[in-house]
Structure 1
Amino acid sequence: MSDVLLPGATLGVLGGGQLGRMFLHAAQSLGYRTVVLDPDADSPAGAVAHEHIRADYLDEAALAALAAACDAITTEFENVPAHALELLAAQRPVAPAASCVAICQDRAAEKAHFRAAGVDGAPYAVIATEADLQAVPDSLLPGILKTARMGYDGKGQVRVRSRAELQAAWSELKQVACVLEQLLPLQLELSVIVARGRDGTVVQFPVQQNLHRDGILAVTEVPAPAVDAALQARAAESAARIATEMGYVGVLCIEFFLLQDGRLVVNEMAPRPHNSGHYTLNACDASQFELQVRALAGLPLITPRLHSPTVMLNLLGDLWFDPQDPASAAREPDWAGVLALPGTHLHLYGKANARRGRKMGHLNVSAATPEAARATARRAAALLGLPETW
């Protein structure tokens, strides 16, 4: 990736979801042509790409067509087959590299990487065999058993309090390779989004304070209201070390836990822009998606500036249904009422059908002060039927 790709070049993305869609918007605003490879004819990213190759991610003919059409290629989700990235990298610049994505796809490899980078995480054990299960130390209970692969938004996770529950949970998860993490007393959930260029330059967005409901991100606040400057610096330094240790190129999100005793521990990472960074579309002078484009194209990485305190509300498909009537037909939320509030910015992802638990969009609420942003966000939440307290 020695040459800078200037506007007019073609950038490709594996994956057709909302993250790909917002990457394409950023690329197109900078003047790039765009191509998506995704099997879904109705994918959100495919709807806005200059070209949509409809095929499986391991279809070698489709991968060859993507490589032929593009000057550089990225991915919008971590579960894309790493082998697909390897095939593409033999023909075109790819960022992030398949080796980095492979680390993020496996919790055991991910945790080993955190240790190699010198960043503290929760005590854990890898369970791949019955012998591993029997060797788990009592100190890890109570804990959370997580599948080593394919877990996201709280899926593939079971809380266990005893060895009997651990045995049952591993059986419930079909005895696939898992990681058991010690359950820690959490105070807050935080995330840091970094962008790293080919030349090793690392820039970061402010630390984000997150609230999850049922394992899915619900609210992000920036500036993080309960995070002081010293903690921000610790999180930022740890995130930069994690990215640098694996030679990462692109946008990377690292999630942290702040414990009740003040310790900061790393939880997991995602090799792409992240739901918690969607606020950057309206709160910063360069969004996480613009930095993804810049890193892929080899353009200069600027340090993003937060110009407006912002609260991001995740919009799930549940909003389209009457919470009192599970069998109710879908109806449109009160967008007019929400958009009448000052500083509201609605982002819908172009998904044709609303389903409970499906990410349909997000709402950014910006204001001159964090208090004003929070107050307006709570008014918007009330109009949408979301919990108002966080």
Structure 2
Amino acid sequence: MKFVDEVTIHVAAGNGGDGSASFRREKFIPYGGPDGGDGGAGGSVWLEADEGLNTLADFRHVRRYRAERGDNGMGQQRSGRSGRDTTVVVPVGTVVVEADTGEQLGDLTRHGERLLVAKGGKAGLGNQHFKSSTNRAPRQTTSGTPGEERDLRLELRVLADVGLLGMPNAGKSTLIRAVSAARPRVADYPFTTLYPNLGVVSVGPQQSFVMADIPGLIEGAAEGAGLGVRFLKHLGRTRLLLHLVDAVPADPEQDPVADAAGLAAELARFSPELAAMERWLVLNKLDMLPADEREPWKHELVEAMGWQGPVYAISGLTGEGTTALCRDVMARLEQMAAEAAGEEA
């Protein structure tokens, strides 16, 4: 199924039913009085998160959702039936934004979580509510109120613990294939990854984390160039970023140091919060260097970049260094979880 991570839909709740203006009519009871029933409440529209979905592709075909209208009230104090609610199932990780105002209405991050996006109209009152000692035959009723109606923009942001960040052909897809069961497309040309891929990395018994492969970024991505800007929002869900750098680019004119600096600048332009997220440097494709040249080349690149954080040298193709990387990532994620639990306590 084609990956779709943003779509606009229209939701409309049901109107409330009108109240009834009715009078009791029975033999031998000439002055029965008002007995008009109330209308039924309109149905509401809900969104519900389902972990069985991983894309918004289904919304390409159906984009309008409406709940039932409440029935009108009837005589003999009979109320109208309330309209049925409509539940729209969306993937876990869906952010709901009102299209007209840009206001975020909710963020569905757990399976079964529900969000009310259009409230049904209130029921109208029958004339039985308006009788009094001075008004024994009221003909007043109230109409049901309209249900809410709005356009919603649904944005799917993948839920992952670790995000892979890098230029096109940095080897992100090769790495996620090496450490997980995910099988993203790999080729010797840029932009082979057209949508995020998720892989579960198993480190040991009861130890695993989810890794996200995001399409590569190029200069000007924050302003809309290339494919990666469309998916940068997915990285905001992650807790740790792995910045992959092609340490031995096939193009001699390509500079790994300049690529790393340019990508960091694009992150800062897109989101200061994303740029401030913890980021580890991963030098990839070291299998293309002789064994005795790898360590000096690694130190040279790190020094030229002025990198201060953790640094790993790996080969996604051969798997060299990936075990240590994944083990340390798992340890850091567990440390983050423990720190978060301590702060909550």
TM-score, scaled to structure 2: 0.30
From the CA coordinates, give the structure whose radius of gyration is larger: 2
Greater per-residue helix proportion: 1
